[in-house]
Amino acid sequence: MMKNISLLLFSMIIFVIMYSCSQKETADLIVSNATIYTVDEAFSTVESFAVIDGKIVEAGNSEDILKKYSTENLVDGAGKFIYPGFNDAHCHFNGYGVNLMQYADLRGTESPEEIYEILKQHYQKFGGDWILGRSWDQNDWDVKEFPDKNDLDKLFPDVPVYLVRVDGHAGWCNSKALEVAGINAKSKVNGGEVILKNGMPSGVLIDNAMGLVGEFIPEITTEQQEKGLLAAQKNCFAAGLTSVTDAGLGNKTVLLMDEMQKRGTLKMRINAMLSPSKENINYFVKSGIYKTDRLVVNTIKLFADGALGSRGALMLEDYSDDLGNNGLQIADQEYYNEICQLAIDNNYMVATHCIGDSANRLMLNTYGKFLKGKNDRRWRIEHSQIINSDDFEKFAKFSIVPSIQATHCTSDMPWAEDRVGEDRINGAYSYQTLLKQLGWIPNGTDFPVESIEPLFTFYASVFRTDHKGWPEGGWRMNEGLNREQTLRSMTAWAAKSSFEENEKGSLEPGMWGDFVILDTDLMTASPKEVLNTKILSTWIAGEKVFKL
Ligand SMILES: [Zn+2]
């Protein structure tokens, strides 16, 4: 009898083992043996997860996952560090791609002479009807004043030259470009300025005045634009980005992105904010929110003012280093009201570029009139850069999302106080105070204004120094975000800012398998280690899109 029972038990055990083996579920991908920051509510870590049909089905320790799932695609994490794919909550992905195709890169140039050299080479290489460049910054030069047209005229008397400042809020041209655009000393533009020198246009155009020349620049062909988008995507994957918010697009570009995604060439997930053109409004806004697995169109992007570097940011009081000037308002109140009403009617979000304290107040108050009180519409203020101390609480009161770019803080910190003085600087780049308003905050770069690198965002947000470690101990550190807050701002909170927090931004069951494998633990790394971190691979929906 005993013998029979043991035999029975033994065979039952064998049966259970065999049954469970054969019942192992097949996963498309298993990642094991890593430190995985899931960025879930509890900020927990796991060792392993399994992906089926692009989505994470289970996360936990390696042993359990491997017991339950089998796969032909097992990635040994080898003790490395995994994070949700980085999400840039405000950038210009298409613009960056177009730049790669059309514009000479002037970022980091230290003098006008260096720029002239680059332009000569660019023209020799690419030719074209125009010479275009982008990302000069007079703050990086010995003489920190706006340049003028004179040297450009000597070098290029017959070809129009148009060079966009690093922040996209000033353009520098030669006489040929001014002539083509019909600009003279009497040219006037609302929300913009033609800068004069000795009574003549100097060659520098501010904000809306840039459009006078901009409209004559030949449009990029669709073929070139596609190439540009793919080139942008390649660089972004190598930097660890799997999602971007493109802050201001036309419907043709959005449709091109959608088509490329459906064809499978463009894999980047995109939140496409619409510029408020009539075409965009009629095509997209009035037919409601558009959403696929990789594209969401649910936001109208507006501008309230210009940039701080070119003194186009709208301030309540004059600039401390330019008395008599308090910046520029891009459009009138009536216009902002009209767009906000349109957004309410079509369940769209509004996201407005606001740099100066007056621009921020203008839009906080305007939004407030439409939102009335707490809500879940997630209307956004892009940059939220200089806030008057009376206005911070309006973010909380009307549930308005402050969208920040930590590298703007570290790029601007050497001269920002010159512009606004020692009092107003207390409300500038105040990320911790902004975070407190809603308890969450999205972070981005505004590339190509800044570099595309999300690791630079992490560095700037946590350490608040330049890459050489200046200023020692960090700039206004009480307003920095800690590591966990920063990681959330670049992943889960960025997803939340486009209403996609149930799909991406954390590595939990049900979420897309969008992740990066790094060689560094960002939660403990020294500043130097953060900057030297290597992106080992980048994955979207369980598909490897970049490998070092
Ligand atoms: Zn922007």
- Label residue 61 by pLDDT band (50, 70, 90): very high
Using the mean position of ligand 1's atoms as its centre, give its distance from the Cα of residue 277 in Å: 17
Per residue in 174-216, pLDDT tens? Answer: 999 999 999 999 999 998 999 999 999 999 999 999 999 999 9
pLDDT at 22: 57
The answer, yes or no, to whether residue 6 has pLDDT greater than 80, is: no
Question: By 3-state DSSP, what share of the chain in percent is helix, strand and coil, each rounded to 5?
Answer: 35, 25, 40
pLDDT at 244: 98
Write the single-letter amino acid at 468.
Answer: K
Per residue in 205-219, pLDDT tens? Answer: 999 999 999 999 988
pLDDT at 310: 87
Kindly state the helix (H) or strand (E) to which residue 299 belongs, with its residue range. strand 299-303
- The mean per-residue pLDDT over the stretch 48-60 comes to 98
Structure tokens at 466: 């330049």
Specify whether the CB–CB gap between 367 and 400 falls below 8 A.
yes
3-class secondary structure, 280: helix
pLDDT at 163: 97
Write the single-letter amino acid at 440.
Answer: W
Q: Among residues of the chain, what percentage have pLDDT more than 70?
A: 96
Using the mean position of ligand 1's atoms as its centre, give its distance from the Cα of residue 347 in Å: 23
Using the mean position of ligand 1's atoms as its centre, give its distance from the Cα of residue 92 in Å: 6
3-class secondary structure, 276: coil
Per residue in 143-155, pLDDT tens? Answer: 889 999 999 999 9
d(CA 366, CA 285): 20
Structure tokens at 51: 């992906």
- Label residue 12 by pLDDT band (50, 70, 90): low
- The mean per-residue pLDDT over the stretch 488-515 comes to 98
Specify whether the CB–CB gap between 206 and 310 falls below 8 A.
yes
Specify whether the CB–CB gap between 431 and 395 falls below 8 A.
no
d(CA 403, CA 7): 67
d(CA 93, CA 225): 11
Structure tokens at 187: 């040219």
Using the mean position of ligand 1's atoms as its centre, give its distance from the Cα of residue 25 in Å: 45
- Label residue 9 by pLDDT band (50, 70, 90): low
pLDDT at 394: 98
Using the mean position of ligand 1's atoms as its centre, give its distance from the Cα of residue 42 in Å: 32
Do the strands 200-207 and 170-173 form a parallel or antiparallel pair, or are they unpaired? antiparallel
pLDDT at 14: 63
Using the mean position of ligand 1's atoms as its centre, give its distance from the Cα of residue 62 in Å: 42
Residues 6+ apart with CB under 8 A from 129: 159, 160, 218
Using the mean position of ligand 1's atoms as its centre, give its distance from the Cα of residue 103 in Å: 18
SS (H, E, C) 210-252: HHHHHCCCCCCCHHHHHHHHHHHHHHHHHCCEEEEEEEEECHH
243 DSSP β-pair partners: 87, 269
Using the mean position of ligand 1's atoms as its centre, give its distance from the Cα of residue 310 in Å: 15
Phi, psi of 273 (to 5 degrees): -80, 140
Per residue in 220-232, pLDDT tens? Answer: 889 989 999 999 9
Structure tokens at 79: 């003790």
- The mean per-residue pLDDT over the stretch 316-333 comes to 96
pLDDT at 125: 80
- Label residue 20 by pLDDT band (50, 70, 90): low
**Residue spans of alpha helices (H) in 319-463:** 333-346, 357-371, 392-397, 406-412, 416-424, 431-438, 454-463
- Determine the distance from the C-alpha atom of residue 392 to the mean position of all C-alpha atoms in its chain, rounded to a whole number: 22
- The mean per-residue pLDDT over the stretch 104-132 comes to 91
Do the strands 35-37 and 81-84 form a parallel or antiparallel pair, or are they unpaired? parallel
The answer, yes or no, to whether residue 8 has pLDDT greater than 90, is: no
Flag the least confident range among 7-16, 56-65, 186-195, 273-282. 7-16
d(CA 500, CA 520): 27
What sign results for the dihedral spanned by CA atoms 523, 528, 530, 532? negative
Write the single-letter amino acid at 462.
Answer: V
- Label residue 126 by pLDDT band (50, 70, 90): confident
Using the mean position of ligand 1's atoms as its centre, give its distance from the Cα of residue 269 in Å: 18
d(CA 548, CA 543): 15
Using the mean position of ligand 1's atoms as its centre, give its distance from the Cα of residue 90 in Å: 6
Kindly state the helix (H) or strand (E) to which residue 99 belongs, with its residue range. helix 93-102
The answer, yes or no, to whether residue 7 has pLDDT greater than 70, is: no
Using the mean position of ligand 1's atoms as its centre, give its distance from the Cα of residue 60 in Å: 38
The answer, yes or no, to whether residue 46 has pLDDT greater than 60, is: yes
Do the strands 74-76 and 29-32 form a parallel or antiparallel pair, or are they unpaired? parallel
Phi, psi of 444 (to 5 degrees): -155, -160
d(CA 442, CA 280): 25
pLDDT at 19: 55
pLDDT at 242: 98
pLDDT at 99: 87
Using the mean position of ligand 1's atoms as its centre, give its distance from the Cα of residue 359 in Å: 15
d(CA 178, CA 184): 7
Cβ burial 368-392 (10 Å sphere, 16+ → b, else e)? eebbeeeeebbbbbbbbbbbbeebb
Specify whether the CB–CB gap between 398 and 373 falls below 8 A.
yes
Using the mean position of ligand 1's atoms as its centre, give its distance from the Cα of residue 32 in Å: 38
The answer, yes or no, to whether residue 1 has pLDDT greater than 70, is: no
Using the mean position of ligand 1's atoms as its centre, give its distance from the Cα of residue 281 in Å: 20
- The mean per-residue pLDDT over the stretch 19-38 comes to 88
pLDDT at 16: 57
pLDDT at 328: 93
Q: Work out the mean pLDDT of the chain and round it to a whole number.
A: 95
- The pTM of the full predicted model, rounded to 2 decimals, is 0.86
Per residue in 427-447, pLDDT tens? Answer: 999 999 999 999 999 999 999
d(CA 238, CA 451): 13
- The mean per-residue pLDDT over the stretch 334-352 comes to 98
pLDDT at 168: 86
Phi, psi of 146 (to 5 degrees): -55, 140
* Strands, E assignment, 99-150: 104-105, 131-136
